[in-house]
Amino acid sequence: MRDDVGQLLWIGFEGTTVPPALGKALAAGEYGATILFKRNLAFSVVHGGEAALAQEVCDVDALLALNADLHRSAPDGTPALVAVDQEGGLVQRVRAPATHWPPMRTHDGFAAPDDTALAEQVGLALGHELRALGFDIDFAPVLDIHTNPANPIIGDRAFGTEPETVARRALAFARGLDAAGVLACGKHFPGHGDTATDSHLELPRIDHLMDRLERVELVPFVRAAAANLPMIMTAHVVFAALDATRPATLSELVVRDLLRGKLGYRGVIVSDDLDMRAIADRTGAGEAAVAAIRAGCDVLLLCRDPAHQDEAQAALLRAAETDTELRRRIGESAARVRAMKRAHAENQRDRPAPSRDVIGSYTHRQLADRLAGR
C-alpha cells in the first residue's frame, strides 16, 4: 500500500539540487514524480551590449544534473518522472537559453489547417527541448476556452475562444509532444476559461447550465478523451450544474461519473495543486488527498509545502487501513500510473533524446517568431 500511495504523490521542492531527504524518499518509492519550478533552476546573468538589457539565463548543465539525480527508481523498479509547466507565454519555467514561445492564443493569427499544423510543429519543437533537458512530462496543453475577458488566470494561455478551434489546436500540440517522447497533460477539467477568479487564491464557481457546458467547456475534453491523451488535470472550480458544493477535483460526480464514465476517459487523471488556496484554505491536505482519490483522481500534485506532502501520505495510508474501497481505488490508480510509465519508457526508447543543440536552436526561434507573427 505504501508503494502504491507513493505512485500517486507528485511533489515540488525547494532548491536547485536534490535535498538528501527527497533523494531517499524517491529511492524508497514514496513519490511518483517531481515537479520543477523556476525556484529549482540555477541562473546566471548575461549582460548584452551597451544598450542591451541584462538577461537571466538558465544553467543548462545544472538542470541536466538535477533531472538526472531526480530520475531514481522505486524498489520495484518503477521510475520517478520529472514534470514541468512549459506552455508558452507567461507559463514556461525554462526560458533562456531555451526558446521563448509566445502564448498559445497567437494561433488565432492563422487559419485552418495552417493553425493545426503549426500547433503540432510547436509541440514537437518544445517537446524536443524539454526532452533534451531531461523532462518527462509537460503540464500542457491548456484545453480551457478563453470566453471571459476578465479571467485572471487563463487568458492568452488558451488556444482560442471557440471550442472546436481549441480542441483542434491543443490536441495537435499534444501530438507534437508525444512525437518528441514527452507526456502531455490537458488541463483544467471541466474548464477554467470562464471563471472570474484565480483558484490559486480562492475557489471559483461557474453557474452555467449543463447544455452550455456540453456546447462549450467540455468539447476539448471530449476530444481529448477520444484521442487517448495520457493525462488530464482537474480544476479547483465548482460547477453548479455538476456538483453545487464541491470543486471538481474533489467531486466523484465530476471526475468519476462525467470524465471517467460519460466521456469514457481511460488515461491518468491528475489533480491540480492541492496547495492552491481554493483547496488549502477550505480543506486540509490529508482530507483533500483522500477526497480526491475517492472522487477518481489518480495523481495528487503537492507542489510546495512538505508538511502537506507528509499529511497527504499519512492520511491515505491511515484511511486505507479500514476502507476497502479506498484501498481498491489506490491500487487501481497506482496500476494506471505504472502502465503510463511503462508506455512512456517504450515511447522514449523508440524516440531517442535529441542533443542539447536543439535548446533554443535557430530553427525553433524561427518557428516561435512565425507563431508570434514576426
Q: Active-site residues: which are they?
A: 200, 272
| Residues sharing a CB contact under 8 Å with residue 242, sequence separation 6 or more, in sequence order | 190, 210, 213, 248, 251, 253, 254, 258
Q: In angstroms, how far is CA 102 from the centroid of its own chain? A: 18
Alpha helices in the chain (DSSP H): 2-8, 20-27, 60-70, 114-132, 163-179, 210-215, 219-226, 277-280, 285-295, 306-322, 324-350, 362-372
Distance CA 326, CA 243 (A): 21
Q: Tell me the backbone φ, ψ of residue 45, rounded to 5 degrees.
A: -105, 120
In this structure, which amino acid lies at residue 151?
Answer: N
Contact 270, 229 (CB under 8 A): no
DSSP structure class, residue 68: H
Sign of CA dihedral 333, 339, 342, 343: negative
| Residues sharing a CB contact under 8 Å with residue 342, sequence separation 6 or more, in sequence order | none
Alpha helices in 42-111 (DSSP H): 60-70
Cα dist. 280→52, 117, 205, 251, 260 in Å? 43, 40, 16, 16, 25
State the chain's maximal CA–CA distance in angstroms.
68
Q: Around Cβ 273, how many Cβ atoms within 10 Å?
A: 23
Distance CA 260, CA 244 (A): 19
